[in-house]
Amino acid sequence: MEDGKPVWAPHPTDGFQLGTIVDIGADALTIEPLNQKGKTFLAPMSQVFPAEDDVNKHVDDNCSLMYLNEATLLNNVRIRYSKDHIYTYVANILIAVNPYYDVPKLYGPDAIKSYQGKSLGTLPPHVYAIADKAYRDMKVLKMSQSIIVSGESGAGKTENTKFVLRYLTTTYGSGQDIDERIVEANPLLEAFGNAKTVRNNNSSRFGKFVEIHFNDKNAVVGGFVSHYLLEKSRICMQSNEERNYHIFYRLCAGASEDLKKTLHLDSPDNFRYLNRGCTRYFASKDSDKQILQSRKSPEHVKAGALRDPLLDDHGDFSRMCVAMKKIGLNDAEKLDLFRVVAGVLHLGNIDFEETGSSSGGCIIKKQSDQTLKFCAELLGLDQDDLRVSLTARVMLTTAGGAKGTVIKVPLKVEQANSARDALAKAVYSRLFDHVVKRVNQCFPFQASSNFIGVLDIAGFEYFEHNSFEQFCINYCNEKLQQFFNERILKEEQELYQKEGLGVNEVHYVDNQDCIDLVEAKLVGILDILDEENRLPQPSDQHFTLAVQTKHKDHFRLTVPRKSKLAIHRNLRDDEGFMIRHFAGAVCYETARFVEKNNDALHMSLESLVCESKDKFVRELFENSSTFKDSKQKAGKLSFISVGNKFKLRMHPLLQMKHSLKECCVVIV
């Protein structure tokens, strides 16, 4: 850094500000901001960076900057963003900044055509250029490729994933309807797996790896979708400004009168699984008029519709039905899906009260009889059996005088509420599995030479309240960061050294210790949680203290009271823990960790749905390992680990990605 030349120094809100160095200390610099002459502040030497001669000039590739550092990179991206250039390269990595509006002509047919066959860097940065590079590398190297789309919620991951898929199927499709089916599958997945959150109106609440398969002539022949970690807690509960999955509102807003009557639907405020969150529909000024007043919640009537250029519950219901037809779902299959969605809504409205008898337990409230009837009818269950299964747990004795004796254990109100919610989550998550399976059946292929895989998964998450879902997502991002370190940083630098290029070594933190903290056998947090779930009386507090005791000297783990945020310092030691991730420290509140880690239903409910009179509902549960195990291990507590299931599903994905040539899209 030369005397008198501008530098970038830290700023509390803008990240960095321009200034000049007026004095040099032992480990800090005195900076005078360019826009505040006469004022100075101290900044650590490690956080002050040289600035470009012309700070208002921007370049397509950050590697073209004279000084490439954190501050110049951010400034370049900021200037480009202000001019609607939302994409910027860092070599073959793409940075995308969400404009939150439709940039004219950025994604149209002309843009698609212009990037076909063009090398990276010959045209302005674009997600189409990354997609085309992946295709050309696949064709030349005869190797499958992958594109990682990563970033925080609301950054634009799902939209960029759709642009990649549309580009590949439009440009290199075989001209058959298979290309259109791959694109049309997205609205269906979004309807069942996306929701409004505080940060994003169309947030994907699951991770997915989409494969586009090509034949020996490099034309699209089919596709396959793998999905990970659907956010099941959202089915039963959302925060004030958030919504449940889109499908619930679209069905309430867009169903015909006949369908509404068949499914016994009402406005969103009449359903427990919707009315604790936002009950307003997404609608334009015109489409809002098409939704009958009786289908609108008081909140919607008072505050008006939610506005988003890409979302419209009434119109999206019609578009979803068209998409279902295009991918091969007939009217009967559509009705099956809608019946189960409505059945989940009615299930949530079942209320319980204490019996008042000496035996304890609870019964279903009289005013819930109608909703119990609707739920049983829609899910093909016997009404009396459903009543019994929700209020009592059946156990079989495995020892003692009368082995195999059936014991009916009455449930308390709180336990019955948990059983009801567990059933709702189980039904909806298996319905989502079925939707993904059905989507995969709509673009089958006999043979594939290679594929391009697009990974769209939630980036690092850090909220005021972080639970089991954030823990799993951030664990996944630790694995992806390690992969990025090894494939991008380590291997690139080894190549530079081999070729004798005088490039300064980039130092990065090895995060293997953080990964081990989560996944190590026996002592990892996931295994400690599984061990807790297997106890006769598991508790979140006991699990939390076990983690802290086992890792009391671990650099990455500490107690909540050491957090910088007051809201976390109020937590007791047995209510959470903090992990120092690669992207920063996150405080996890462990309430309901044990519950969320168990994917099993109690035996009575599992048996009930597995023996449903409705063929569709029965088939959703036909491969249920819990049901099979419960017959073999009657009387034992059933447990299926969500955390380990997630780990096992992620492992082959990362193994596969290690064997693929990499292209990266980084969303910020």
CA distances from 121 to 164, 383, 436 (A): 18, 65, 36
Catalytic residue among 121, 152, 154, 299: 154
577 — alpha (psi -120 to 50), left (phi > 0) or beta? Answer: beta
Catalytic residue among 200, 287, 466, 604: 200
- Residue 459: active-site member: yes
- Coil/strand/helix, residue 209: strand
* DSSP calls for 601-620: PPHHHHHHHHT-SSHHHHHH
Are 145 and 663 within 8 A, CB to CB? Answer: yes
- Residue 661 sits at φ, ψ, to 5 deg, of -75, 140
Distance from C-alpha of 623 to C-alpha of 221, rounded to nearest angstrom = 29
Length of the chain measured in residues: 668
Q: Which two tokens stand for residue 624?
A: 């249920």
* DSSP calls for 49-68: EEPPSSTT---SBGGGSSS-
Report H helices in 520-597: 525-533, 540-550, 566-569, 593-596
* DSSP calls for 319-352: HHHHHHHHTT--HHHHHHHHHHHHHHHHHHT--E
Catalytic residue among 461, 478, 532, 589: 461
Are 148 and 455 within 8 A, CB to CB? Answer: yes
Catalytic residue among 193, 459, 524, 576: 459
Tell me how far apart the 2 most distant CA atoms of the chain are, in Å: 92
Q: Which two tokens stand for residue 486?
A: 């090894």
- Residue 153: active-site member: yes
Pairing of strands 661-667, 93-96: parallel
Pairing of strands 557-558, 576-581: antiparallel
Catalytic residue among 153, 160, 267, 474: 153
Catalytic residue among 203, 244, 349, 612: 203
Query: Which residues, in sequence order, are CB contacts of 388 under 8 Å at separation 6+?
Result: 408, 604
Query: Which residues, in sequence order, are CB contacts of 566 under 8 Å at separation 6+?
Result: none
CA distances from 250 to 260, 281, 283, 315 (A): 12, 8, 11, 8
- Residue 200: active-site member: yes
Catalytic residue among 158, 201, 533, 638: 158
The closest of 486, 469, 500 to 591, measured between CA atoms, is 469
Pairing of strands 450-456, 145-150: parallel
Catalytic residue among 204, 371, 391, 624: 204
Q: Would you name the residues annotated as active-site residues?
A: 153-154, 158, 200, 203-204, 459, 461
